[in-house]
Chain A
């Protein structure tokens, strides 16, 4: 059996082990390859940076634990950015399984900046009926969410005195793992109420988001874990946060894994054509 034939018959378990070692190694010993921020992540950052202090950033938590490694760092970085600039944060969710994740962020991040629940941050929770929820929020948020996730009436929360409907929100970021997600915010929030929308998406759905960037419907885009890392770098560069950056920490592993996949794809193709020529 030639070397090419052997290459085509590598046991997939060997590839899994090689991949696991290459992903683990940089997590234990970071290589420091660095992350550069692209224009799409910068556009989201600039839009959040342009929100006047005291105004509100809406973040829609439209993901579940399965997509947490990619999207949760985005949520955390966005909240840190907003709080560092005294921008208030309003959270809601279109994914039922994301409710607990938003609660985790609301519990952990505001205390880092001395922010109070109800005054600087409010979490509305999840409600059934995507289109009805967004359209209802466009008219009056309190009609859709009379109470927040924790059962407090919205009238009792000082932050909600200034935020009555979507038009009171200068910018929102939909962090979505699919449908419902940023597409629904564009459909109902933007086309009907003129809401400015940025998106943070899983890498799988990033390609679907590009057409909306090109038309200007999306202000900016954070794509996958790389997008999260780009945002973390921007937030750290401006001095808004000195906290641990899980997205950036993962990028060395990501780069090594991609390198191995590239090598394997090239080797696999070369081996395929070499064995085919031999057969002829």
Chain B
């Protein structure tokens, strides 16, 4: 056993116990730790955004290197603050329109390619699936699963007859999907608990490697 003498390790230990205290019940100690975490995260984000992005990419070129074109993003950025002045608050629509237009133009083709075209291609039954029996089986299961799951969300007709069978099969696939997500979520939560215990046993108490 080799208890840490680092003040920051002790601070982290106290805050860890503060967060764990919520397991007993909500209390001021937990509230303090929660608010401290949120405050530090926001402060850290503001500082890093300023020093990594705003200062080197806008302030320096505009005011130190004298590049006049940078006045455009500077003014557009300032327009965001017009939300606080009702008389000119409409100006905020200009940078928002610019950002939305640019982001949509960039994202829509890429999103379509990555999440629609490629996924449809991956679902299609192609000659390649006959290379091995297990590939064929999983491709078939995926195909049936996708079709039935999509049919479950088809609400323009009453779910009866063949549509009901397909929709019910879709529910089975959806449940398997939710089950897998839940199982993984449990694993994630346990991992975080284990990580905290590793910190307490290793970094604080020094009883494990």
Q: Which residues of A contact B (CB under 8 A)?
A: 13, 16, 19-20, 23-24, 27-28, 66-70, 96-97, 99, 125-129, 131, 135, 146-147, 183, 186-188, 190-192, 202-204, 206-207, 211, 214-217, 223-226, 244, 246, 249-250, 253-254, 257-258, 261
Contact = CB atoms under 8 A, between A and B. Distances in A.
Given A187-B114, A250-B191, A69 B198 contact: yes
List the 8 shortest-distance A-B pairs measured between CB atoms, nearest first. Answer: A69-B195, A215-B122, A203-B188, A225-B191, A128-B53, A203-B187, A203-B184, A207-B181
A257 to B, nearest CB: 5
B92 to A, nearest CB: 19
Contacts, number: 131
A225 B52 contact: no
7 contacts: A24-B197, A97-B41, A128-B52, A187-B114, A207-B184, A223-B184, A253-B194
Interface residues of B, number: 44
Nearest to A254: B190
B208 A28 contact: yes
Chain A contact residues: over half helix, strand or loop, or mixed? helix
Chain B contact residues: over half helix, strand or loop, or mixed? helix
Contact of B121 (A135, A215, A249): A215
Interface string B111-129: 1011000110110000000
A174 to B, nearest CB: 13
B136 to A, nearest CB: 14
A68 B111 contact: no
Given A28-B201, A69-B195, A253-B194, A16 B23 contact: yes
B188 A224 contact: yes
